[in-house]
Amino acid sequence: MVVTFKSSNVVKPATPTWTGRVSLSEWDQIGTITHVPTVYFYKPSPKWLSQSNAVINNLKDSLSHALVPFYPLAGRLHWIGRGRLELECNAMGVTLTEADSESKLEDLGDLPSPEHQYLIPNVDYTVPLHELPLLLVQLTIFQCGGISLGLRISHAVVDGKSALQFTSEWARISRGEPLGTLPFLDRKVLRAGDPPLARPQFDHAEFGLPPLLLGELSNAEERKKKTTLAMLRLTKIQVEKLKNMANKGRSIHSGRGYTRYETLTGHVWRSACKARRHKPEQPSALGVCVDSRGRMQPPLPDGYFGNASLDVIAVSQAGELLSKPLGYAASKIREAIETVTNEYVISAIDFLKNQPDLTRFQDIHARGGAEGPFYGNPNIAVVSWLTLPIHGLDFGWGEEIYMGPGTHEYFDGDSLLLPSPNEDGSVILAICLQVAHMEAFKKCFYEDILSNSLQA
């Protein structure tokens, strides 16, 4: 794909906003602190075919106004020592780039495509962190008149729920509508900047090193292996079959049945173990991302704008996962999720506040290096967007025809569950695995559903 860049603009808040430095919560400073890429595609519209500058001008104006209530996104991050960050609200602005492509939307073929990388802004992490915008946007206009909107937003400032709140409100402004929910910007509700209260109340295995391949002393070699990304779709019928498999044999006294997330994630975990040909005694950890907003006492305020998710882990041996029914894997996942209580979150915050340095918990140090979190072979992490409003982003020219994650900066073991855009009950798994394991994973992923259906 040939993409020609026409202009790059720094967009600042439309009116003066508060300036100064604010402390970030512990959740903001661990895990993914790089920029998360997403891309939206829109069909051609007569509105912008006749007015070539209408789209970019509308985006600039609405983005400028959206940055007034969401002014932290117009700021910059600063390292303050010991692997810790602060956010400077200085209205430096975000980047909006306009580009043209000689291709047509239909030229992209199956989505996602490796060519997505040309449609999403690049972030140069060799540049000092305090010089990097927290939000970068790229509008690409195709020869057919269709467009794509590529976004990169800093995960050190927002999690998925907050990022979607921002894009949704930006779209409302673009359509000429008032804000729906104001962002709640006070991170003190998660004790941002406060000293630890005490020693952690719980052990926090999620902050330790995940299991290694048997016989290995580090994951250095696994980090180097080439990876690839796949998007795998499960129909509503296949999802229901998996749920039935997971809940088979559960009595009415066993409590609520396993959820769609618990079921699908258990299936992904088992399929990965089988595809990687783990020995029965191989330990494997599954990373689970849990939103703590409604688990705190009291719950976090509506519109809390920041990171409020805690990663916990389920651990089992590959032999147990594969020899026992799917319900076993689902039960391990539920146990991990249910540990996330108000007390557990407070304890985890204290654990991190007591750390002399947060570097080993941050993904920015895993880029081409041996530091930072890594949930590759023999482990896996499954993040769910199943309940997030990721579809229907309308800036005034209609809803997108496709929305998906970026394709080229994921690590082995990273995976994401997405709802189908047409709301037909199907689910899409975006998963990154080593090239050597991907085809086997696809085979296991689908054949296990079929074989169990035949047995039933």
How much is the pLDDT for 251?
64
**pLDDT level of residue 406 (50, 70, 90 thresholds):** confident
Domains 3-190 and 205-455 share a fold: yes
DSSP state of 196: P
Distances (CA, A) of 245 to 323, 325, 328, 403, 456: 14, 8, 11, 30, 9
Distance from C-alpha of 231 to C-alpha of 431, rounded to nearest angstrom? 7
Burial of 300 (C-beta count, 10 Å sphere; 0-12/13-18/19+): middle
Which residues touch 304 (CB under 8 Å, ≥6 apart)?
162, 183, 184, 189, 293
Q: Which of the pair, 369 or 236, is modelled with greater confidence?
A: 236
pLDDT digits (tens, 9 = 90+) for 234-264: 999 999 999 999 998 776 556 789 999 999 9
- Give the chain's count of helices (H) and strands (E): 10, 15
Confidence check: pLDDT of 18 > 80: yes
Q: Does domain 205-455 have CATH number 3.30.559.10?
A: yes
Distance from C-alpha of 94 to C-alpha of 89, rounded to nearest angstrom? 12
How much is the pLDDT for 108?
76
Residues classed as catalytic: 155, 394
pLDDT digits (tens, 9 = 90+) for 41-79: 999 876 655 566 888 999 999 999 999 999 999 999 999
CATH architecture of residue range(s) 3-190: 2-Layer Sandwich (3.30)
CA proximity to 329, closest of 253, 380, 390: 380
Domain boundary assignment for the chain: 3-190, 205-455
The mean per-residue pLDDT over the stretch 433-453 comes to 89
Burial of 22 (C-beta count, 10 Å sphere; 0-12/13-18/19+): middle
Confidence check: pLDDT of 293 > 90: yes
Distances (CA, A) of 372 to 220, 365, 375, 389, 438: 11, 5, 10, 30, 24
Please tell me the pTM assigned to this model: 0.93
